Amino acid sequence: MTYQIALALTLPIGLAIAAFGSAFGLGKAVSAAMEAMGRQPEAATRIQTGMIIGCALLEALTIYALVTVFVLQGKIS
Partner 1 sequence: MGIEFINRVVKTSLIVSVIAFVFITFYYNFKFGSGILVGTGWSCLNLYFLANLIKEALNPQKPKKTKITLIILVKFPLLYFLGYLILRLNYFPVLSLLAGFTLIFLVIFLKALGKWFLSLSSENKSALGSVERKSKG
Q: Which residues bind partner 1 (CB under 8 A)?
A: 37, 44-46, 48-53, 55-57, 59-60, 63-64, 67, 70-71
Environment class of 38 (CB within 10 Å of its CB; exposed 0-12, middle 13-18, buried 19+): exposed
Would you say 4 or 48 has its CB closer to partner 1? 48
Would you say 2 or 41 has its CB closer to partner 1? 41
Compute the distance between CA of residue 64 and CA of residue 58 in angstroms, rounded to an integer: 10
Would you say 5 or 64 has its CB closer to partner 1? 64
